[in-house]
Structure 1
């Protein structure tokens, strides 16, 4: 069959990690999830590993979409998935392995330039590092060489294609408007295809000035547009028929490929449940023999290009003006009326200036060791992928081939980290949206701040003043924020972390949790040398010494600290580098004495006397810990509020039920007291193990009796966790009839909660058990065995509740 269909998904999120902590902190805008990566994983990345195919409203098949589509994942996103969502990560890797069985040995996954920079705007060194890091990251995860590579925003110029070809990349995917002219290989005459007139149904060969070649695919623009922004993903069958409709009775009878490319987040995040339409589309095409499902590598292998192409230089898929969206106020934006993007050019100028200054320091310092600085940076990806002490030592000894002191090791790693952050500060999302104070732009400013901090530590040069003078020319659309420099001072600078700040976090948080002798704080290790904690009448005092070690740069520092909690949010702390002297021991004894005598002013005076201006408070905690501390502080007042509401509810219960029976509206204060009380009861029941089914049934009865509302998001998440635990218990002993009966009752009561449950994991478990038992013929309901019949009855009830067709 000459008809081939390929669906490509570009799965990507910008790196969101705090540049100093190497972890994503709490993002309130992603509620009820901790951060946007978690939320999008739940809505998109995970569902596509096990997408549902329905017969009416019952699941009949579960498919891993990644195994049948072409896809790329951003390396920084895969790094996060590997750490925080290992099951999803492993399912993606497994899909690529499985895809090789379907696609003649070619894998579905392709690589991506490392951190999604706009390649035509990058200098030569950055272009090559982005490609090399992208390939090495891919090889590390997928255990094979990538055939193709995704360019961020499909932004392309000839130099970028040269960088891909130089590293053995066979093809990339572009938008139809990025084709300039085409001709059959061997012919002299070119055909102008500007204006999206390129025939997207074939592969093209692009000859490069170096003599190298690379193949290009231009996706179907209209179908891709309807997929991403229209209603095409609402029906898998409609999508399949639309893809098949691109084929015609070509007179040459050559093999054709109907293919689309969109953000992978289309399938579940941007368009809810679109992963199901994608799964059904591929199922429908194969079941009805409408076309071959293929991927680019397989198609290219079987059908080499017969046409060649020239590209439109400096073009992309999301900016009609080429690549101006990432350096100019070109008019491309997300549509906020009255706003402009005049800030884009000064931001680009500030980063370009900083990049060049950092390169000067980097080349000079690494040159002292007689090494090629840019080769060393390219190789540094091996450390980024494995920061274990053994691997870091291996890297340093292999590359430098000399005995390095601990100070030299730290300096070299600081230089390389300075360069890594200089790359990350060009992540494209920083320019994509409408306002310079958006979280994506703040993120790239933070990478710039980290790079400048490292430059000052290594070379003693401070770049911040000049950097801010350029950012002053970047106007904000929000009058009170003024410009980029003011935003940097207001938002970015307070986020800067050094080892003293890590020590401050440790000191303050030690008032609220008891640390072991050695503990991990994000990308740091804290080792306690001396620790004294005291508590009296709601006040707390912590005094100690600790050593802090960075896993990233191997930097170390010993710190002395005092933290004093007066109650509520009132807290005072002092931090300084440790200097061994008798005065600290004297201070510790004097502080303890004053604390026990309730001499609050004297405690604060002693902290001031010893630490001077090196003072910290609750606001200096890292964001996640700050939330935990506030939760602890709020425990008592919230408990008192709940007791009050419960007393009101209990005292007025008979009145509430009588009013409800007579269809009289409940007074708001009484209804609020009842809702608060019953929501608290349901939450505690869901968090307790084992689940008290009768008590939960009674709570549900009371909620229904009084027509009360449950807190959908928090209770939905809690109920989902309880459901998942029940199904996991069942999966470990699927033939235990008594366990099955208990699980069936739990599933039944949880399904009756008036909150939104996520059945995804539970359905996967049930489907997998059904497959295993069917394959092994472990249960035969027709055998006359009463246990088998009882087992099947319970199993069918669970299947009905979870909407899985067995």
Structure 2
């Protein structure tokens, strides 16, 4: 018998939903993430940044005899993105670009290092938004895959060989759509494929169209023990599970693949990144076991075995994909009653809104764009993560010859309408147990943005509120999705007006600004009368305001009105309604003034 190699792959699914305010394009304070400003910031500190600088500890043999978890001093610091397969959601990348570029750079450097080491990169792509692809229409499914592949190419400088499917949700049409875009493989749970021999080696799916896709099955038992058991408390135990064939003479290749949420390592399990690194270090020189990534494995061992897909299926629902459209019984807290009947009506309401948004986009886009509007939407994936002139340049290039500035602005609004529409179906809105949660509120804010950009806010909002009213747990007095929408999603003030008021306040208190959130601002005037022009960097919409500022930095009142409305009513805006970016600038200015007052003469 020949000693065949055993491969080990650790795959981390790194993802956060888009948390940005749909009008301001910044993440507002999330009190539940305290002591951090928001959940992205907190999880980056606890997990993503740590994975870039994971620390391994020297073992003290005497202490370890008393306490298996005992650790001594740091012995090495390693970028685990160079040693672990991973996907990183595009919406998380958008945030990392602006708020934690060092973390994103470490991911890119880790991928580059793995290409150099193994000839294939650790990073694989993901659909742009974390949507359940089997529940998406063929057109939406194609756009999500194409946007994800385009974003991956821009960030990692190469074409993606593999793709991660959100929640591992798959059906025949989804795998066919992935294969149609030239992707070579995906990673699925072992119970999603039938007919494989359990070796963990790549297998082949073949669709009705004749297209094929390679599947790398992960180890379900190992994933469960890492994510929900205590395996991340002991590096030796983890290393033992990583090498199940340590003493075996293998007659054919084997692979152990751990696939789990990247947040497991440091966020869900404190110091999980260090435990992972120590376990990998322990097996680095184990004879017959090699650490690799999925792309390298597939290249070295092309599949010879064909399987059948369990269709539809997902890694976090025992009922196919029902968790994201029905009260199937899957819930985060098993002690809670089966009261998730709100899931179906919520999806139905959003699907009706999306159908309307798509009709508006197709009708108006066909008149504005040179090419098919849906092909234009797919191409928008090249620039969707950017703003300002890049978006204007893209939209301008799509317009029919002779188009004017007004048509350019509407084209930009239509493309943003589609971006908001795709975001409606972010999967986390259905994953948890209650409808009155931050995840549902966020998709409903995208719904409000859709209504506005589609030009039907006044006409359709009452109907949409009615559609949402059925999305409730049924408990007397409990909030429905309709309540959440009216209370927390609908904007109660024009955000452009609030930005203009904040710009006036900043100028009046000696802190002039040229940009607030995603608005460019131009301020002129003096203490008697201020003029502000605000321009949204994504849509190009502009508005002019005139106003006055009274009070000091601790008790400001701004009175202003939109100059386009002529003699329209003046409105009062106070600091609590300013965008956070302006509030922080004013707070900094206020503290500076206090310090000046306290300084010795």
Shift of 1:629: 5.5
- The equivalent residue for 1:372 is 372
For structure 2, list consecutive stretches of 5 or more residues without a partner in the other structure: 60-71
Q: Residue 530 of structure 1: which of 510, 525, 531 is its match? A: 525
Provide the C-alpha distance between the structure 1 equivalents of 2:559 and 2:174, rounded to a whole number of angstroms. Answer: 51
- The equivalent residue for 1:561 is 547
Q: Residue 30 of structure 2: which of 27, 31, 46 is its match? A: 27
- What do the CA deviations read for 1:287-326 (whole angstroms, capped 9, x no partner)? 3335010111111111111211111112111111111111
- What do the CA deviations read for 1:721-765 (whole angstroms, capped 9, x no partner)? xxxxxxxxxxxxxxxxxxxxxxxxxxxxxxxxxxxxxxxxxxxxx
- The equivalent residue for 1:112 is 126
Q: Residue 516 of structure 2: which of 502, 512, 521 is its match? A: 521
Shift of 1:114: 0.8
Q: Residue 44 of structure 2: which of 41, 45, 54 is its match? A: 41
Answer with 1 or 2: which has the greater Rg: 1
- The equivalent residue for 1:269 is 267
Pairing 1:614-693 to 2, within 5 Å after superposition: 614-623=571-580, 625-626=582-583
Inter-CA distance 481–495: structure 2 relative to 1 (3 Å threshold): farther
Inter-CA distance 273–567: structure 2 relative to 1 (3 Å threshold): closer
Kindly indicate whether the alpha-carbon contact (under 8 Å) linking 2:527 and 2:548 is maintained by their aligned counterparts in 1: no
Which one has more relative contact order, counting CA pairs under 8 Å at least 6 apart? Answer: 2
Shift of 1:112: 0.6
Q: Are positions 1:94 and 2:136 aligned together?
A: no
- Which segment drifts farther, 126-135 or 572-581? 572-581
Kindly indicate whether the alpha-carbon contact (under 8 Å) linking 1:9 and 1:262 is maintained by their aligned counterparts in 2: yes
Pairing 1:476-491 to 2, within 5 Å after superposition: 482-491=479-488
- Which segment drifts farther, 169-178 or 334-343? 334-343
Q: Residue 141 of structure 1: which of 155, 158, 174 is its match? A: 155
Provide the C-alpha distance between the structure 2 equivalents of 1:368 and 1:9, rounded to a whole number of angstroms. Answer: 44
Shift of 1:136: 0.4
- Which segment drifts farther, 72-81 or 398-407? 398-407
The alignment partner of 1:206 has SS state of strand
Shift of 1:475: 1.4
Kindly indicate whether the alpha-carbon contact (under 8 Å) linking 2:523 and 2:533 is maintained by their aligned counterparts in 1: yes
Provide the C-alpha distance between the structure 2 equivalents of 1:24 and 1:558, rounded to a whole number of angstroms. Answer: 25
Provide the C-alpha distance between the structure 1 equivalents of 2:58 and 2:150, rounded to a whole number of angstroms. Answer: 43
- The equivalent residue for 2:563 is 578
- Which segment drifts farther, 288-297 or 118-127? 288-297
Kindly indicate whether the alpha-carbon contact (under 8 Å) linking 2:509 and 2:552 is maintained by their aligned counterparts in 1: no
Kindly indicate whether the alpha-carbon contact (under 8 Å) linking 2:122 and 2:293 is maintained by their aligned counterparts in 1: yes
- The equivalent residue for 1:500 is 497
Provide the C-alpha distance between the structure 2 equivalents of 1:475 and 1:512, rounded to a whole number of angstroms. Answer: 47
The alignment partner of 1:463 has SS state of helix
- The equivalent residue for 2:141 is 127
Kindly indicate whether the alpha-carbon contact (under 8 Å) linking 1:233 and 1:278 is maintained by their aligned counterparts in 2: yes
Q: What is the TM-score normalised by the length of structure 2?
A: 0.91
The alignment partner of 1:261 has SS state of strand
The alignment partner of 2:384 has SS state of helix
Provide the C-alpha distance between the structure 2 equivalents of 1:630 and 1:474, rounded to a whole number of angstroms. Answer: 40
The alignment partner of 2:359 has SS state of helix
Pairing 1:400-411 to 2, within 5 Å after superposition: 400=399, 402-411=401-410
- What do the CA deviations read for 1:593-638 (whole angstroms, capped 9, x no partner)? xxxxxxxxxxxxxxxxx76363333342224544666788899999
Kindly indicate whether the alpha-carbon contact (under 8 Å) linking 2:498 and 2:579 is maintained by their aligned counterparts in 1: no
Shift of 1:462: 3.1
- What do the CA deviations read for 1:703-724 (whole angstroms, capped 9, x no partner)? xxxxxxxxxxxxxxxxxxxxxx
Provide the C-alpha distance between the structure 1 equivalents of 2:296 and 2:157, rounded to a whole number of angstroms. Answer: 18
Kindly indicate whether the alpha-carbon contact (under 8 Å) linking 1:476 and 1:483 is maintained by their aligned counterparts in 2: yes
Provide the C-alpha distance between the structure 2 equivalents of 1:463 and 1:498, rounded to a whole number of angstroms. Answer: 20
Inter-CA distance 482–545: structure 2 relative to 1 (3 Å threshold): same
Kindly indicate whether the alpha-carbon contact (under 8 Å) linking 1:64 and 1:95 is maintained by their aligned counterparts in 2: yes
Shift of 1:3: 0.7
- What do the CA deviations read for 1:335-354 (whole angstroms, capped 9, x no partner)? 16347212111110111001
Pairing 1:121-270 to 2, within 5 Å after superposition: 121-179=135-193, 181-182=194-195, 199-245=198-244, 253-270=251-268
Inter-CA distance 234–466: structure 2 relative to 1 (3 Å threshold): same
- What do the CA deviations read for 1:755-800 (whole angstroms, capped 9, x no partner)? xxxxxxxxxxxxxxxxxxxxxxxxxxxxxxxxxxxxxxxxxxxxxx
The alignment partner of 1:559 has SS state of strand
The alignment partner of 1:112 has SS state of coil
The alignment partner of 2:459 has SS state of coil
Kindly indicate whether the alpha-carbon contact (under 8 Å) linking 1:67 and 1:96 is maintained by their aligned counterparts in 2: yes
Q: What is the TM-score normalised by the length of structure 1?
A: 0.68
Kindly indicate whether the alpha-carbon contact (under 8 Å) linking 2:508 and 2:527 is maintained by their aligned counterparts in 1: no
- The equivalent residue for 2:472 is 475
- The equivalent residue for 1:689 is none
Inter-CA distance 28–513: structure 2 relative to 1 (3 Å threshold): farther
Provide the C-alpha distance between the structure 2 equivalents of 1:110 and 1:231, rounded to a whole number of angstroms. Answer: 28
Inter-CA distance 515–630: structure 2 relative to 1 (3 Å threshold): closer
Q: Residue 289 of structure 1: which of 281, 287, 293 is its match? A: 287
- What do the CA deviations read for 1:648-704 (whole angstroms, capped 9, x no partner)? xxxxxxxxxxxxxxxxxxxxxxxxxxxxxxxxxxxx9xxxxxxxxxxxxxxxxxxxx
Provide the C-alpha distance between the structure 1 equivalents of 2:549 and 2:199, rounded to a whole number of angstroms. Answer: 66
Provide the C-alpha distance between the structure 1 equivalents of 2:540 and 2:592, rounded to a whole number of angstroms. Answer: 38
Inter-CA distance 106–576: structure 2 relative to 1 (3 Å threshold): same
Shift of 1:87: 1.4
The alignment partner of 1:60 has SS state of strand
Inter-CA distance 377–83: structure 2 relative to 1 (3 Å threshold): same
Shift of 1:234: 1.5
